[in-house]
Every structure is written in structure tokens, then in C-alpha cells.
């Protein structure tokens, strides 16, 4: 049973928005779409593969097989989200879970999860910017490299997978910074208008 690279079967715990949640034993290599159909999941917006620290899979990838060499984690926790669910709320929920679960031993995980959660909350409230998005990507990279154990190394996954596969969750909520203030440029422009010369330029002229 299974495929050449991933032989055998796999137990999956399927829950969420489906008519027949439960424990399923499937042949490795089975496409996710077939499993969703077995569980009676319709109108699916996303599937979280691998539990809270896994990744959100978009409908375009449901035809791919579950196997060790495939794109899906073969961790057995599968959560189905239908079209009525707000995925950003789900991401915020998982980040809150990780903030609570972090043991606090190392800084990247202890502080990083709190910072990621505050970015997500800002974006959900409509106060986030493109800089928040870039910041989350960069911080998630640091957490993955510098956290001491698997919790901190995988906790950014709900954010990273939705940023990659569901960019439409973020883009319409980001504020456009039309009036971002640059102190250095503003000072230079004001000095030029007033005809002021900086001390540095005065010293050069005196030499």
C-alpha cells in the first residue's frame, strides 16, 4: 500500500467543518480532496494540515497526495475550514495559543510570538501596514532559526502559510501610508527652503 517513497497507511484525525469528523486510516499517496470527500467536507476554504503548528492548504492544492515526499506534513491532525470561517481570526487564535504555550526559556519564542500576535491583531483591526507584513516575515525567519525547540520553530507557520497561500486575507486590510513622515528628508527640505546651511557645510567652507 502507499507509494514507492511512502509505503503503508496513515491515521488522520479529521475535524472542523465536515459532516463525518473522526479518525481515518488512509493509504499514503491519497489526495487530500479524496479525504475531504470521505469526511463529508464541502464548500472548503482551507485545510490546516499538521495541527496548530502546521500550514493552511488552499483549494488549489487539494489534488496533491499526502505522503512523506509530498507538500503536506504527514502529521495526523487535519482541521477543515469552510467558506464562512474568518481565517485571520483562526490565525490569531493559534498565535494566542502559542503565546500561552511558550515556556519562556528563550527570547525568540517568548517575545516573538507576542509580537506576531500583536501584528496580526493590528491587521485584523485595519491598522496594519505593508511594513507589518514584512516585519512578520522577517521575525518569523528569526524565530525559526533561533528558537530552542520545535514550538518556537514552528509557531509562525499559520502566519507564513496564509501569507503565502491566502494573500487576499491581508492585502485589503493593510493601510496605505500616504503621509509617512521622514524626519531627515523633511529637515533637509526645510533647511533648503530657509536657506540655512548646516554646521558641517560651514566648516567645510572655512577650510
Q: Which residues bind ligand SF4 (CB under 6 A)?
A: 102-106, 109-110, 147-149, 151-152
Q: Would you say 73 or 154 has its CB closer to ligand SF4?
A: 154
Secondary element (H or E) of residue 32: helix 32-38
Q: Which is nearer to ligand SF4, 100 or 184 (CB)?
A: 100
- E strand map for the chain: 9-16, 22-27, 44-49, 55-57, 77-82
Nearer to ligand SF4, 22 or 141 (CB): 141
> Do residues 66 and 32 touch, judged by C-beta distance below 8 A?
yes
Shortest Cβ distance from residue 53 to ligand SF4 (Å)? 11
Q: What's the closest the beta carbon of residue 117 comes to ligand SF4, in angstroms?
A: 14
Closest distance between ligand SF4 and the C-beta of residue 78, in Å? 24
The torsion angles phi and psi of 95, rounded to 5 degrees, stand at -65, -35
User: Minimum CB separation from ligand SF4 for residue 140, in Å?
Assistant: 13
Return d(Cα 4, Cα 29) in angstroms, integer. Answer: 9
Closer Cβ to ligand SF4, 50 or 152, answer by number: 152
Report in angstroms how near the CB of residue 110 gets to ligand SF4 at its nearest.
5
- For residue 13, give the C-alpha cell: 484525525
The smaller minimum CB distance to ligand SF4, of residues 102 and 162, is found at 102
The C-alpha cell at 196 is: 540655512
Tell me the C-alpha distance between 160 and 137, whole Å. Answer: 7
Question: What's the rounded Cα separation, in Å, for the pair 99 and 80?
Answer: 23
Nearer to ligand SF4, 106 or 137 (CB): 106
Q: How far is CA 72 from CA 53, 82, 124, 146, in A?
A: 13, 19, 27, 24
The number of C-alpha atoms within 13 Å of 19 and in the hemisphere containing its C-beta is: 6
Closest distance to ligand SF4 from the beta carbon of 157 (Å): 14
Amino acid at each position: 500500500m502507499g507509494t514507492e517513497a511512502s509505503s503503508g497507511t496513515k491515521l488522520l484525525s479529521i475535524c472542523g467543518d465536515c459532516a463525518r469528523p473522526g479518525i481515518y486510516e488512509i493509504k499514503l499517496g491519497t489526495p487530500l480532496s479524496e479525504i475531504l470527500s470521505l469526511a463529508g467536507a464541502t464548500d472548503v476554504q482551507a485545510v490546516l494540515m499538521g495541527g496548530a503548528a502546521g500550514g493552511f492548504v488552499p483549494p488549489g492544492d487539494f489534488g496533491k497526495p499526502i505522503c512523506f515526499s509530498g507538500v503536506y506534513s504527514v502529521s495526523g491532525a487535519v482541521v477543515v475550514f469552510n467558506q464562512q470561517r474568518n481565517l485571520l481570526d483562526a490565525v490569531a487564535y493559534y498565535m494566542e495559543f502559542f503565546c500561552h504555550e511558550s515556556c519562556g526559556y528563550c527570547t525568540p519564542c517568548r517575545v516573538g510570538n507576542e509580537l506576531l500576535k500583536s501584528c496580526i491583531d493590528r491587521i485584523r483591526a485595519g491598522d496594519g501596514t505593508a511594513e507589518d507584513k514584512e516585519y512578520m516575515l522577517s521575525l518569523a525567519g528569526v524565530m525559526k532559526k533561533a528558537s530552542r525547540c520545535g514550538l518556537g520553530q514552528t509557531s509562525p507557520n499559520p502566519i507564513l502559510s496564509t501569507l503565502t497561500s491566502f494573500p487576499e486575507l491581508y492585502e485589503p486590510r493593510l493601510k496605505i501610508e500616504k503621509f509617512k513622515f521622514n524626519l531627515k528628508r523633511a529637515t533637509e527640505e526645510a533647511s533648503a527652503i530657509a536657506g540655512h546651511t548646516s554646521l558641517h557645510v560651514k566648516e567645510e567652507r572655512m577650510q
